[in-house]
Amino acid sequence: MSPPLAITQPDGSRRYVHPLTSETVPSVTSILKVIDKPALQFWGARIAADHAWDNREQLALFPEREFKVAVRDAHKKEAEDAAGLGTLIHSLCEQWGGEIPVEIPRRADSYMSQYFSFLSDVQPEFLLKECTLWNRTASYAGTADAIVMIGRECWVLDIKTGRGIYPEHGLQLTALGFCEFQIQEDGTELEMPPVTRYAVLHLRPKSWKLVEIKYPAECFAAFLACRELYYWQTMISPLVLGDPR
Task: Report whether 72 contacts 66 (CB < 8 A).
Answer: no
87-114 per-position pLDDT tens digit: 888 788 888 765 556 788 888 899 999 9
What does the alpha-carbon distance between residue 53 and residue 105 come to, in Å, rounded to a whole number?
Answer: 32
| pLDDT score, position 201 | 96
pTM above 0.85, yes or no: no
| pLDDT score, position 215 | 97
| pLDDT score, position 95 | 83
**Burial (CB count within 10 angstroms: exposed 0-12, middle 13-18, buried 19+), residue 89:** buried
Please name which of 170, 32, 4, 159 lies closest in space to residue 86, comparing C-alpha atoms. Answer: 159
3-state secondary structure 106-172: HHHHHHHHHHHHHHHHHCCEEEEEEEEEEECCCCEEEEEEEEEEECCEEEEEEEECCCCCCCHHHHH
Domain ranges within the chain, ordered by starting residue: 6-239
Cα-trace Rg, the chain? 21
| pLDDT score, position 114 | 95
Task: Report whether 157 contacts 197 (CB < 8 A).
Answer: no
Identify the segments of the chain with pLDDT beneath 50: none
